[in-house]
């Protein structure tokens, strides 16, 4: 893998130059809520929140949109397919390793058996530039093996003090560097030592751990455990954890009719397996009417069925669900208690 060095003094120039490619999305801090971050279109490089750790909503919102029109229909004219942002070139800048792994999982889900044309129309026009980070008390990406990336990015920036080491992951990433060659320099031996020191510091900074060894097997044994009923009493099934999750991909499809009663749109919108009507089918039967069953389903999908189907869990350890849950449910605590065979309500 090719690695070059970018001085921090030239980072804003680098960011500005990326606008030549297309729309640049960066993490920003909410002015009215210090310490709260979100991804948004860059207007000025100075808006970049280099210190951010996690955003409210993950960058998946630019690929798998929260709500989009997928076609329009008319009684006389038939229907017209719509793919929103189809031609928009976009750079997702500053993604941490966990979010890059999240997109890698979505790439597989939306293309393994049936390709989602709406997702991939945007995905093929999207550049991913990653950024290193230091964990807090809610990060457990190291336990999920998502604390580093070897692929899934075009460029990846690692902070080594006064400079960034820039790993080039694709030919497009190589082009982005080559077109701005005056901003970069060769990596020196001192830079390598600084990177190794950063990796050591990062590895020692993790405070939250989750043992996932043989976890699918344990979950298989614990399907009838009273743990799920206890958890169901706490969970509000509000869906907040699904909305902020980098890998939750469920969606609903419905039609809306215009006032002329002749035309309308078909809408694709994020959905969540925790919602009461998620498993409701024709005839009024609900396969998971009980709240505990819906909560259990979410955990089993992430850590059991995804492993069966794709060979790895769909949790990336970003900590967003822990941060967002109004009931204070901690996924690490839950799965640790499942492993121990006990659960204590609060």
Domain positions in the chain: 2-56+85-205, 215-253+268-340
Q: What are 300-339's pLDDT values in tens digits?
A: 999 999 999 999 999 999 999 999 999 999 999 999 999 9
**What does pLDDT average to over the chain?**
95
What proportion of the chain, given as a percentage, has pLDDT over 70? 99
Query: For residue 57, with 0-12 CB atoms within 10 Å meaning exposed, 13-18 middle and 19 or more buried, which class applies?
Result: middle
CA atoms within 13 A on the CB side of 181: 4
pLDDT at residue 241, as a whole number? 96
Average pLDDT for 41-51: 97
Q: What are 196-232's pLDDT values in tens digits?
A: 999 999 999 999 999 999 999 999 999 999 999 999 9
Q: What are 163-174's pLDDT values in tens digits?
A: 999 999 999 999
DSSP-derived secondary structure letter, 311: S
Q: What pLDDT band is residue 346 in, cutting at 50, 70 and 90?
A: very low
pLDDT at residue 91, as a whole number? 98
Q: C-alpha distances in angstroms, 3 versus 11, 59, 174, 187, 334?
A: 16, 25, 10, 7, 40
pLDDT at residue 1, as a whole number? 84
Q: C-alpha distances in angstroms, 10 versus 5, 16, 159, 182?
A: 11, 10, 14, 10
pLDDT at residue 113, as a whole number? 82
Q: What are 264-275's pLDDT values in tens digits?
A: 999 999 999 999
């Amino acid at each position: 893998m090719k690695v070059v060095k970018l001085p921090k003094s030239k980072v804003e120039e680098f960011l500005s130059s990326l606008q030549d490619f297309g729309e640049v999305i960066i993490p920003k801090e909410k002015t009215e809520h210090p310490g709260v971050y979100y991804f948004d279109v860059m207007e000025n490089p100075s808006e970049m929140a280099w210190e951010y750790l996690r955003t409210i909503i993950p960058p998946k919102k630019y690929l798998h949109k929260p709500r989009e029109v997928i076609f329009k229909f008319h009684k006389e004219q038939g229907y017209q397919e719509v793919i929103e942002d189809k031609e928009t070139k976009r750079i997702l800048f500053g993604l941490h390793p966990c979010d890059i792994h999240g997109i890698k999982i979505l790439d597989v889900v939306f293309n393994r058996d049936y390709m989602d044309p709406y997702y991939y129309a945007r995905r093929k026009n999207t550049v991913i530039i990653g950024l290193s980070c230091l964990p807090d008390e809610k990060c457990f990406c190291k336990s999920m093996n998502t604390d580093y990336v070897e692929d899934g990015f075009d460029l990846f920036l690692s902070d080594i003090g006064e400079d960034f080491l820039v790993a080039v992951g694709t030919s497009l990433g190589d082009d982005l560097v080559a077109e701005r060659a005056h901003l970069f320099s060769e990596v020196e031996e001192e830079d390598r030592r600084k990177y190794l020191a950063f990796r050591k510091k990062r590895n020692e900074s993790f405070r939250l751990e989750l043992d996932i060894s043989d976890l699918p097997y344990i979950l298989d044994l614990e399907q009838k455990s009273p743990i799920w009923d206890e958890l169901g009493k706490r969970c509000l099934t509000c869906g907040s954890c699904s909305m902020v999750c980098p890998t939750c991909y469920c969606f609903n499809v419905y039609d809306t009719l215009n006032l002329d009663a002749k035309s309308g749109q078909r809408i694709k919108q994020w959905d969540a397996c925790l919602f009461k009507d998620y498993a409701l089918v024709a005839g009024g039967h609900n396969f998971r009417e009980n709240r505990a069953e819906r909560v259990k389903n979410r955990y089993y999908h992430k850590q059991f069925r995804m492993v069966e189907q794709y060979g790895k869990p769909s949790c990336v350890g970003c900590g967003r669900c822990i941060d967002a849950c109004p009931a204070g449910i901690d996924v690490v605590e839950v799965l640790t208690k499942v492993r121990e065979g006990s659960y204590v309500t609060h």
